């Protein structure tokens, strides 16, 4: 991480139906457990019967008190019927990367990880092609080639699931992984699979979207990063970005521009997820800065 994080710092994310007393109950609880709130953000969709979302960072007297505080908070959560999670900020989440042939998003994540800009461990990279093995192994990360065909798709996915469970992976990033995941795979890791794709959808579907965009004379290139659901490319959006282009761009230049936007948008989404800045609600996300 770019700045040193205290070992006793924790994060609490909450979502529940809005009603009076939530902020008071949470802050009183933390005060009673000798925690010092260092940052607090909240959002309500509608103060009268809407949804309430909250993210708090707080420092405990010592990091060994975390599990006790987390256990004790269950009574507050039950009183307000909260969906919640509490994490130690210093804990590194285990991130698996899936990739096919294109390496621009993969290399962006690996570079940021090595530079300390992504506070994660990367126990493995999985691919349906062997093309990126040398780049991944140069970082000292195990690379698993799992070939996927129409006939072996179910078996290949189970092999990947077994590896992910073996490595106790927290979340998965599809860094231009060009396979559609089954419902079984997606349901095994709910709200824990992050994808990236160009933002032309539903226009220019299929192969060579940038060539089709060139033929249409587009003026904006964009990318969308989202959580994966059973609805293809329609899961809760985490981040989107755009870049203005013009008639002077060739199809190849559009493709380069698109790849740049893809890697930036994906890296932001991964960073926000890693830092516990995202709450998923239905098919939307609340992103706390």
Active site residues: 233
- From the list 205, 135, 140, the residue with the least C-alpha distance to 175 is 135
């Amino acid at each position: 991480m770019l700045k040193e994080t205290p070992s006793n710092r924790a994060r609490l994310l909450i979502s529940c139906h809005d009603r009076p007393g939530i902020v008071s109950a949470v802050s009183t609880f933390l005060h009673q457990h000798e925690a010092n709130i260092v940052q607090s953000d909240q959002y309500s969709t509608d103060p009268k019967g809407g949804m309430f979302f909250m993210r708090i960072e707080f420092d405990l007297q010592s990091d060994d008190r975390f599990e006790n505080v987390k256990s004790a908070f269950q009574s507050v959560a039950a009183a307000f019927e909260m969906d919640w999670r509490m994490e130690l900020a210093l804990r590194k989440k285990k991130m698996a990367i899936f990739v096919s042939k294109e390496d621009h998003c993969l290399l962006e994540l690996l570079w940021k990880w090595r530079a300390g800009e992504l506070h994660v461990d990367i126990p493995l990279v999985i691919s349906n092609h062997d093309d990126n093995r040398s780049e991944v192994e140069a970082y000292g990360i195990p690379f698993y080639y799992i070939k996927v065909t129409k006939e072996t798709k179910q078996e290949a996915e189970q092999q990947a699931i077994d590896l992910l469970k073996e490595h106790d992976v927290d979340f998965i990033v599809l860094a231009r992984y060009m396979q559609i995941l089954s419902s079984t795979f997606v349901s095994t890791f709910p709200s824990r699979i992050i994808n990236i794709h160009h933002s032309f959808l539903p226009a220019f579907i299929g192969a060579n979207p940038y060539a089709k965009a060139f033929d249409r004379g587009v003026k904006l290139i964009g990318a969308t990063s989202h959580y994966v659901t059973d609805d293809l490319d329609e899961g809760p959006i985490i981040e989107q970005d755009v870049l203005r282009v013009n008639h002077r761009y060739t199809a190849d230049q559009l493709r380069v521009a698109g790849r740049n936007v893809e890697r930036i948008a994906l890296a932001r989404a991964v960073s926000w997820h890693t830092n516990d800045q995202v709450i998923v609600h239905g098919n939307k996300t609340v992103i706390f800065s």
